[in-house]
Amino acid sequence: MKQKSTVLIALFLFFFFICNAFAQDLNNNLNILFSKIENVYKSINILKVEYTENIIFESTNEKQKVSGTLFFYKPNNVYISQKTPKEQKIYIDDKEVTIYNLENSQVIIDSWQNVFDGDFSVATIINFGNNLNKMKKTNSISVSGENEKYIILKVVPIKRRDLVLEIYISKTSMYPCKSILQSVGTKVETIFESYVVNPILDKKNFKLNVSNDVEVIRLN
């Protein structure tokens, strides 16, 4: 059920949820950064973005590429149309995660907690916005650097120093453009591009609608 592509979901939700959970007691650099992001995202209700994710298993040098299109509908609906390595449609709200595997004509539905618990990247980023004070107790959150194009945000769990997530935020758009998740033996680099703000899209697109011959497995 779990898959590396959930990393991009987490990143996307993070940049919306922090706007609703802005914390004044973070360091000044983060205060300024979050304030800018908040101002940019006030007018956004729907966001469309193309993503490409490269997963490297360092022990075997095996590589996997995941790509597709992600849609976000405020406040907490996500629809992902995954194109490679296999076609899938992923639907997320604040309660459930639904994955539709078109090749197998199979749908798997599970609770948010069952899918995301234990996944550092998802748990850290999603819960960061919803429960910032709790996340500050278990994670080190900082601005780790910047260059001409990006401000780099770094998140490291206090009890799992072997996991490091860096998010590259565009200085011009304040959108996430790249992320790098480094864990023992695995590196995941995700590129976000071709942002479209408030495209015409019915909210019904964020709910699965399949024929009766598709197998539905509910795990929650």
Let me know: does 47 contact 32? Beta carbons within 8 Å: no
What are the domain boundaries of the chain?
Answer: 6-197
Q: Quick one: pLDDT at residue 61?
A: 85
What is the spatial distance between Cα 190 and Cα 192, in angstroms, rounded to a whole number?
7
Q: What's residue 107's pLDDT?
A: 93
Tell me the fold of 6-197.
outer membrane lipoprotein receptor (LolB), chain A (2.50.20)
d(CA 52, CA 12): 14
Token representation of residue 185: 């033996």
pLDDT at 100: 93
Q: What is the pLDDT of residue 10?
A: 59
In tens digits, the chain (220 residues) has pLDDT values of 445 555 555 556 666 555 544 434 445 667 777 777 777 777 888 888 898 989 898 888 899 998 999 888 887 788 889 999 989 998 988 788 899 999 889 999 988 766 655 454 333 343 333 334 555 666 677 888 889 999 888 878 777 777 888 888 899 988 888 888 888 888 989 888 999 989 988 888 888 888 888 999 998 7
